[in-house]
Every structure is written in structure tokens, then in C-alpha cells.
Amino acid sequence: MDETILLAVIAYCLAGIVISVLFLLFGIARADHAAKGAGIAFRLTILPGLIFLWPIILGRWLSGRQINQDIHAGDNS
């Protein structure tokens, strides 16, 4: 086993942290309307997943695809 693999994993996760924070701040509300106006606790809940699965989410973000358009911000009934 080589330490370089470990370093690669760490680098991947560091990139994940950067992309995730950017996505949570600027991308998520457009990509998934159910996240519009959702609280900081929700954002922290999905953060671990974002850090590991960031390539999928980055692809989604760049593609401009949106889901859950029928949900309006503040509609928390």
C-alpha cells in the first residue's frame, strides 16, 4: 500500500470541500428548488455527501438542470 493513494483521497476531499461550499452558497437553490431558502442545518446535513460525491453535483450544476420547480420558498406547511 502506498501513501500516494491516501494523498489522492485527501486531495479529492479538499476539492470536494471547496466545490461543496460554492454549490451550497450559489448553486443549490437553482438546481433543486426544494432547497431554496432551506436552513443552514439542512445545508450541513448534506455537506458530507457533497464532499464525497461532488463530481456528480458539479455535473448537475454545470448542466443547468433544475428539479422540484413546483415548490415555493417559504412553503413549509
Task: Identify the residue whose cell numbers are 413549509.
Answer: 76
Residue window 22-61: x/- pattern of binding to another protein, with contact defined by CB under 8 A:
---------xx-xxxxxx-xx-xxx-xx--xx--xx--x-
Task: Provide, rounded to whole angstroms, the least separation between the CB of residue 65 and another protein.
Answer: 10
Determine the Cα–Cα distance for residues 1 and 23; give it in Å rounded to an integer. 34
Indicate the residue among 18 and 29 with the shorter CB distance to another protein: 29
Least distance CB 71 / another protein (angstroms): 6
CB of 35 to another protein, least distance (A): 5
Residues 6+ apart with CB under 8 A from 68: 32, 33, 34
Supply the angle between the helices 40-63 and 3-22 in degrees, to the nearest 10.
100
